[in-house]
Amino acid sequence: MKVFFEQKKPGRARQTIAPVEMDIEGNPGTVGMLIASTVRAMVEAFNRRASDAPDSDHADTARAWLDDDCLAALAETGRVAFGIVYNDRMADPEEAIANALQCYDDGLVRMFLNGAPLGDKDSAIELKDGDTLTVVRLTLLAGRLW
């Protein structure tokens, strides 16, 4: 099933939100199942990128792939990276799902389906092909109280 995630586009000049298409398995019936499906898809994509990325021993060849246009595009986002994954450990999907569900239960993450807020993780949802999912990570601002 294809779902669109609203993702903030990186950049210093103009930060916008753009939909990004993602394929998830099956048709989740609850919020918890939706979280598990999306996290599983994201972990598989991360592990695939990590296995295809050059290691730190071949960093010089990774830098050689970047031409001036690619460097300019990366500089516009505010971060020039060479695609090197320094962690040799692959992500565990079950551990990531447990962490995401705990974050949702603790209120660190809010989710909206087509603009409507989702309830607790046992709430039933009706997900259709092409729906838009927005995930907002809530962060605490550090600073002085007075």
- Model pTM above 0.85: no
Residue 142 lies in a domain: no
Query: Is 95 part of any domain?
Result: yes
**Cα of 135 vs its chain's centroid, Å:** 9
Number of domains in the chain: 1
Strand-pair category, 17-23 with 2-8 = antiparallel
Measure the N-to-C terminal CA separation of the chain; round to a whole number of Å: 49
Domain limits for position 131: 2-10+20-137
Q: Is 8 helix (H, G, I), strand (E, B) or coil?
A: strand
Examine residue 133 and state whether it is found in any structural domain, yes or no.
Answer: yes
The verdict on residue 110 lying in a domain is yes
Per residue in 83-128, pLDDT tens? 666 666 788 999 999 999 999 999 888 899 998 999 899 999 998 8
144 in any annotated domain: no
Q: What tokens appear for 64 in the block?
A: 């050689």
Residue 145 lies in a domain: no
User: Is residue 143 domain-resident?
Assistant: no
pLDDT (tens digit per residue) in 10-29: 555 566 777 888 888 888 88
